[in-house]
Structure 1
Amino acid sequence: MAAAPLYCVCRQSYDVSRFMIECDICKDWFHGSCVQVEEHHAVDIDVYHCPNCDVRHGPSLMKRRNNWHRHDYTEPDDGSRPVQAGTSVFVRELRNRTFPSAEEILVQMDGHHVTQKYLETQGFHYPITVPRLDGLGLKLPSPGFSVKDVEEYVGGDKIVDVIDVARQADSKMKLREFVKYFYNPHRPKVLNVISLEFSDTKMAELVVVPDIAQKMSWVENYWPDDSFFPKPFVQKYCLMGVEDSYTDFHIDFGGTSVWYHVLWGEKIFYLIEPTQANLALYEAWSSSFNQSEVFFGDKVDKCYKCVVPQGTTVLIPTGWIHAVLTSQDCMAFGGNFLHNLNIGMQLRCYEMERRLKTPDLFKFPYFEAICWYVAKNQLENLKEFREDNCQPPAYLTDGVKALITALKNWLKREVSEPASVEVPDHIRPNHLIKELTKEIRYLVVGGGKPMKSQEGGAWPSTRSALDRASHQARRRARRLRHQQRHHAPKTPSNLEILELHTRQVLKKLEVGPFEEEAPFSSAVTARFNKASVASAAAVEHSLENNLRLVMCNGQIIRGTSSVTYQHQVSQALSPFQKPVKRYVRHGRMTAKFFLCRYSLCVSVVRQLVACLCREHLASPTTEEEAIEGMLSMAGLLCPRQLEESLARIQENKNFMDSQSSGSTSNSSDAWGDQSPSQGPSDPLHLGPSSEYQYCETSLSPHLHPSKRPAPSTPPISNQATKGKRPKKGMATAKQRLGKILKLIPPLR
């Protein structure tokens, strides 16, 4: 493998982060720092000679200046080319121009009054000036803090972006070189430093941003600590400019609001309001080929002049178009922040930057990522407003609407530009947009209920402020719910519901249709047949009952009328739906679900039997009819076997009658001391010769072999098996039904 080529007098490989210059004689490349050539000086060299060629060919040749009003000063000055922004001629003309005073639009306030509540109530639409630091929460070094002190705290090797004002071009240089230039009494150029962010340096401890910027900042409130993207640092900038430094008209990246404080010196701001017309003009001007030749202030109706002297702080809202002139050597501190008050304008400025193809260096870092984080938090805020039955402020509702539109457009762009989308990993974008849209739709429609409005101003938008401000609203909502529960009609108990339901079922059993298909042994048997057919009809037409029982996890939780049946059943069964899903595998219900279903059936039968006993019904026959009907409705009986089962119940009835005529002391033994194999001890127990057959419905799946009890082989002649032996591993009807009926307490 060939070795990497080496360059410069230091004989090192190429480093993209370091400035290099080519020798016009030997065609070799040299690091600017190794040959003492600064990047901003390189543009002034016409023919460069490296140190080796300098000995033989003499020093480098410099460009000849032909004009003072053009960025390329080598152009011939024929008087026909217009003046370009930033040049010495331009700055001189700008100082002599007159502009409307910014007093028409500025809001001068005391620092104690610049609060989040004030801005949320009154809005943040016009610049605010604060003549003193008191009350702002802003901490800064003393006015004696110098450029050399900046070098000491930040470090002389720090690479800073420097603007060559006369050419309006960017270059990089070490901070110590700029400090040397700053204190040079003969400055060959006008250089300006406006993007030295020092949050990661020792100087960060000397500066505390204003309280208003901290409380409203998206980054401070919504950026998670575990984010995949690095946290944007845009809140602490040090601006160092010499006299006549000029920055042309611009909007701060991402439509951020900005705070400036002039530590010493003076700056002049030229402010233009971000109206729809002015923004359209600004975008057209920014994309024009002769942008530097046209003063944008001449294209709008009004361009205001605002002088910011030493010790003054100015807050500029979202989207304001402004240019800055340093009228004397100056050091200022400032910072940018996104907030909830002007979300729509911030998004519009960001989209404008994309259309203008603004370099990433001059864009808000990870702007789209912070918007996703904000959307997630605003969803929680809107849900809290809805739960508290309170209307959020208009600026928040409008901002979330604009945010939803932007998020949708960014997802669409992902198809053509997948690398440009900044969606955090733990956020489900489509789900988040859907939920936000749902909340906004609820607010617009009102959910069919009147919404309470904010008292005494707009609602706070950050999480901590929202918790504090909504405490009283939460307490009022809880008090209202308590009053509603206190005055609501008394809910009937489970026992009362069971009693009423049992009476209605028994009534249906008595008046049900009777169609005797075959002659039976006696009138008593006909009566039982009538009751059984009626119970089967009750199962078929159960949805027509006036009173219905709603069960959840084996417990009767509500009795409802048929009018509200569908709605209440869906709510009552919701806790049971999730377990049911776990019991279904590949379309087949597992044994666990089978057992849960029969647990519900057993629970219902046991509760109904207890209710019947409490009512002291006249005869055991009525009890047996009720139990028979309950089992039929539970799907435990097959209609085609009712005739055989009724005969067995009649025999049990005769046995109970004989027991009741005996001694009272032996009654308990007759019911409880006999073994399960003795048929008469259990009114519903099936003996070995029983012809009862279990009928499985579509909701009764087969048990898994590992969950089934040991099979008991019935005789071949048993009618229940129709002359065939049961399949291997499958429980018989007797075993299943017998196990269930053992759980039912005996009737007394």
Structure 2
Amino acid sequence: MAAAPLYCVCRQSYDVSRFMIECDICNDWFHGSCVQVEEHHAVDIDVYHCPKCDVQHGPSLMKKRNNWHRHDYTEPDDGSRPVQAGTSVFVRELQNRTFPSADEIMVQMQGHQVTQKYLEKQGFRYPITVPKLDGLGLKLPPSSFSVRDVEEYVGGDKIVDVIDVARQADSKMKLREFVKYYYKPYRPKVLNVISLEFSDTKMAELVVVPDIAQKMSWVENYWPDDSFFPKPFVQKYCLMGVKDSYTDFHIDFGGTSVWYHVLWGEKIFYLIKPTQANLALYEAWSSSPNQSEVFFGDKVDKCYKCVVPQGTTVLIPTGWIHAVLTSQDCMAFGGNFLHNLNIGMQLRCYEMERRLKTPDLFKFPYFEAICWYVAKNLLETLKELREDNCQPPAYLTEGVKALITALKNWLKREVTEPASEVPDHIRPNRLIKELTKEIRYLEVSKPMKSQGSGGCPLTRSTLDRASHHARRTARRLRHHHHHHHAPKTPSNLEILELHTRQVLKRLEVGPFEEDAPFSSTVTAKFNKASVASAAAVERSLDNNLRLLFLYLLAFREHPTSPTTEEEAVEGMLSMAGLLYPQRPEESSTAQEPWWSSPGSGDTSSGSNSSEAWGDQSPSRAASSPLCLDPSPGTDYQYCETTLSPPLHPSKRSAPNTPPISNQATKGKRPKKGMATTKQRLGKILKLSRNNHFLMASEDAAFCDLVFIPSLGDCLVLV
């Protein structure tokens, strides 16, 4: 086997990742770093002489500049050729133009206002500007942080992508060479660094991305640690540009949203809405041969100008078309993130990149792989919402539909373009089928009316109507009982009914506060006990009250002794996993429950209690009037869920109970009423112990409205 040819004065074999230049005399090839020729300088050389040849033939010959408005400055300046983007003439003309102010579209906010709840409710469709860091969760180096400091933390040997602005051409150079260029008193060229991602360097410790980007990011929440594909690093960029640097109109890769902070200096953004018409124009402009000669802002109805001064943070949503001018030497930090709010637009931008044959270097790394991970997790989310009888937010439903279409198309493309990014542990066809089934279920179900965005706000009038309905139902049941049974001493269950009526009558609800934590939006006075989530109360109030009185009616139709009634209530709670531990002073007088001593107690009574409360086979449970599990036809309700994507299993804290089926367990999903319900009730019970109240859920299919004398006046609806 022949040995690989050796090149350059260093006599190394060819390395595709290193820039090389050919000597026009000896025709040998040399590494630019070995002969002190930077890649961006090579274009200026007309005839190159290597160090050996220039001894005999003299120094290299440089190209002659003939114009200042064309990328190829050797073209004759006859005044007939249009100005091209990035040239000094272009930048001067751009600075003299007038544009509509971005104040028309920018949303100015304080850092603490930029929350998941806000974006999920209001949408993330317009750019947001934040004048101060406070409340964003963003941490950065001080404004005295310099380009030399970047070299110290990142390393001078780091290869960075550098844009020659006048030619709008990309080249590579070592960071130390860029730093030398930056501090020269005279800069022969305008060079711009906009893609220095430093997550794998010491400088990463100096920067903490904004909370909103961290909590919404697909990569941070869905990307598994054991993925075969390397994790995309796109969250931490350092941008160093000199005065008059210009980046032409573009959409950030994969339709990612962007956070952007100017540490010192100033940037000017030219922003264009991502309407259907503008996106179509943008794709046509991007693929045209004279793209650099046409200012895209002139092709749309409005192009907005936004000046971003030192200390300001900007958030740009999915798909916004923008160009950037550096009006003075500037250092900025930024990052990109995909999220659930604009899935359809993100996919559209990715497909546009494919049609434009965008090089992989300028695309989101492993975009299709992250979409498969997201699809798997969103399937779990949809299943859980369905089990909870909740309607997903509209943005999530539409996003999943767009995702299904994209995943199908990618699988079909595999036949002709085998470049799969489907993770090994994902069964793509089955995943698509299950997602489609969840969407069809949503479409055939009739959702309840909702107020606001995604939630069911609880108002005073709502609870007043529900309380009135409960009292009316109690009167009907009492009247029914009066005509069918002879008067007798009130039983424990009759006391329960009376107490329930009294508590409902005392129910008082405060005004709904939109910005308060959701679990505390509604407060009711239950003798110092708190009502749970407002949305949960409204969601299940009518159903729970109806179920309560059905239980009472069932007891009256099947009379039992007072002892058996108490045992039945205890049995009901035990079967639901909600039996509250007895207090020390009560333990001495408490009787041992019937289910722990099979041989004790009245056999017939025990049989009746067991039959009524849970010792049933599946078939008997299904036919029992007490087992009222929601049917598929039940109307959906909106529930205010967390608007951020659920964490990937590897990022979640370990629960006290075994997790439900997910990517980590790779097991079958537990049936409704089993593991999932157990976990939910376990968390509820933990809260009840700390706050001295007990919560019961209709998921348990045993009880919905409970009064425990040992806990005092306590009534909780879930």
Same fold (TM over 0.5): yes
Displacement of 1:560 after TM fit?
10
2:51 & 2:358 partners in 1: Cα distance?
38
1:132 & 1:478 partners in 2: Cα distance?
43
CA contact under 8 A between 1:389 and 1:452: conserved in structure 2? no
Displacement of 1:484 after TM fit?
3.3
What SS does the aligned partner of 2:7 have? coil
Displacement of 1:384 after TM fit?
1.3
**Deviations 1:652-690 (CA, angstroms, capped at 9, x unpaired):** xxxxxxxxxxxxxxxxxxxxxxxxxxxxxxxxxxxxxxx
CA contact under 8 A between 2:45 and 2:63: conserved in structure 1? yes
1:236 & 1:339 partners in 2: Cα distance?
17
Q: Tell me the residue number matched to 2:241.
A: 241
Displacement of 1:388 after TM fit?
1.1
**Deviations 1:453-486 (CA, angstroms, capped at 9, x unpaired):** 4776569xxxxx9999997767887885796387
1:206 & 1:560 partners in 2: Cα distance?
60
Displacement of 1:70 after TM fit?
0.4
What SS does the aligned partner of 1:52 have? coil
AA aligned to 1:484 is L
Displacement of 1:558 after TM fit?
3.9
2:546 & 2:9 partners in 1: Cα distance?
87
Change (3 A) 1:481 1:433: farther
Q: Tell me the residue number matched to 2:135.
A: 135
Q: Tell me the residue number matched to 1:442.
A: 441
Displacement of 1:452 after TM fit?
6.9
AA aligned to 1:426 is H
CA contact under 8 A between 2:391 and 2:447: conserved in structure 1? no
CA contact under 8 A between 2:518 and 2:534: conserved in structure 1? no
Q: Among 484, 488, 491, which residue is 2:547 paired with?
A: 484
AA aligned to 1:15 is D
1:380 & 1:466 partners in 2: Cα distance?
23
What SS does the aligned partner of 1:65 have? coil
Q: Tell me the residue number matched to 1:262.
A: 262
CA contact under 8 A between 1:392 and 1:453: conserved in structure 2? no
1:556 & 1:163 partners in 2: Cα distance?
69
Q: Tell me the residue number matched to 2:347.
A: 347
**Deviations 1:383-404 (CA, angstroms, capped at 9, x unpaired):** 1111111111111111111111
CA contact under 8 A between 2:455 and 2:535: conserved in structure 1? no
Change (3 A) 1:440 1:401: same
Q: Tell me the residue number matched to 2:123.
A: 123
What SS does the aligned partner of 1:51 have? coil
2:19 & 2:403 partners in 1: Cα distance?
41
Count of aligned pairs: 495
Q: Tell me the residue number matched to 2:303.
A: 303
How is 1:597-746 mapped onto 2 (pairs within 5 angstroms)? none
Q: Tell me the residue number matched to 1:409.
A: 409
CA contact under 8 A between 1:20 and 1:29: conserved in structure 2? yes
What SS does the aligned partner of 2:53 have? helix
Q: Tell me the residue number matched to 2:675.
A: none
Q: Tell me the residue number matched to 1:400.
A: 400
CA contact under 8 A between 1:154 and 1:198: conserved in structure 2? yes
**Deviations 1:477-518 (CA, angstroms, capped at 9, x unpaired):** 78857963872686999xxxxxxxxxxxxxxxxxxxxxxxxx
Change (3 A) 1:318 1:456: closer
**Deviations 1:306-326 (CA, angstroms, capped at 9, x unpaired):** 000000001011100000000
Change (3 A) 1:71 1:476: same
Change (3 A) 1:468 1:234: farther
Q: Tell me the residue number matched to 2:3.
A: 3
**Deviations 1:137-165 (CA, angstroms, capped at 9, x unpaired):** 10000000000000000000000000000
CA contact under 8 A between 2:116 and 2:216: conserved in structure 1? yes
1:466 & 1:54 partners in 2: Cα distance?
76
CA contact under 8 A between 1:120 and 1:458: conserved in structure 2? no
What SS does the aligned partner of 1:416 have? coil
Q: Tell me the residue number matched to 1:334.
A: 334
Displacement of 1:12 after TM fit?
1.1
How is 1:557-576 mapped onto 2 (pairs within 5 angstroms)? 558=620
Higher alpha-carbon deviation: 9-18 or 329-338: 9-18
Q: Tell me the residue number matched to 2:73.
A: 73
AA aligned to 1:442 is Y
AA aligned to 2:121 is T
4+ runs of 1 displaced by more than 3 Å? 449-459, 465-486, 488-493, 554-561
Q: Tell me the residue number matched to 1:179.
A: 179
1:559 & 1:191 partners in 2: Cα distance?
75
Compare the two structures and name the one with the higher helix fraction: 1
CA contact under 8 A between 1:260 and 1:332: conserved in structure 2? yes
Query: Is structure 2 residue 360 aligned with structure 1 residue 376?
Result: no
CA contact under 8 A between 2:116 and 2:212: conserved in structure 1? yes
Q: Tell me the residue number matched to 2:48.
A: 48
What SS does the aligned partner of 1:436 have? helix
2:341 & 2:540 partners in 1: Cα distance?
30
Displacement of 1:80 after TM fit?
0.5
CA contact under 8 A between 2:260 and 2:313: conserved in structure 1? yes
Q: Tell me the residue number matched to 2:599.
A: none
2:368 & 2:451 partners in 1: Cα distance?
30
CA contact under 8 A between 1:390 and 1:451: conserved in structure 2? no
1:437 & 1:27 partners in 2: Cα distance?
62
Higher alpha-carbon deviation: 303-312 or 376-385: 376-385
What SS does the aligned partner of 2:65 have? coil
Change (3 A) 1:254 1:456: closer
2:455 & 2:97 partners in 1: Cα distance?
42
2:278 & 2:192 partners in 1: Cα distance?
27
CA contact under 8 A between 2:136 and 2:210: conserved in structure 1? yes
Change (3 A) 1:241 1:458: farther
1:151 & 1:468 partners in 2: Cα distance?
49
Q: Tell me the residue number matched to 2:202.
A: 202
Q: Tell me the residue number matched to 2:587.
A: none
Higher alpha-carbon deviation: 367-376 or 450-459: 450-459
Change (3 A) 1:455 1:71: closer
CA contact under 8 A between 1:255 and 1:350: conserved in structure 2? yes
**Deviations 1:356-387 (CA, angstroms, capped at 9, x unpaired):** 00000110001111111111111111111111
Displacement of 1:239 after TM fit?
0.2
Structure 2 unaligned segments of length 5 or more: list them: 457-516, 522-531, 559-615, 624-718
Displacement of 1:422 after TM fit?
1.0
Calculate the aligned-residue CA RMSD, in Å: 2.7
What SS does the aligned partner of 2:12 have? coil
1:78 & 1:467 partners in 2: Cα distance?
72
Higher alpha-carbon deviation: 472-481 or 192-201: 472-481
Higher relative contact order (CA 8 A, sep 6+): 2
AA aligned to 2:423 is P
Q: Flag the structure with larger Rg.
A: 1
Q: Tell me the residue number matched to 1:325.
A: 325
TM superposition score normalised by structure 2: 0.66
What SS does the aligned partner of 1:172 have? strand
CA contact under 8 A between 1:391 and 1:452: conserved in structure 2? no
What SS does the aligned partner of 1:333 have? strand
CA contact under 8 A between 1:86 and 1:246: conserved in structure 2? yes
CA contact under 8 A between 1:391 and 1:454: conserved in structure 2? no
What SS does the aligned partner of 1:221 have? helix
1:555 & 1:136 partners in 2: Cα distance?
55
Q: Tell me the residue number matched to 2:636.
A: none
1:357 & 1:289 partners in 2: Cα distance?
14
CA contact under 8 A between 2:251 and 2:321: conserved in structure 1? yes
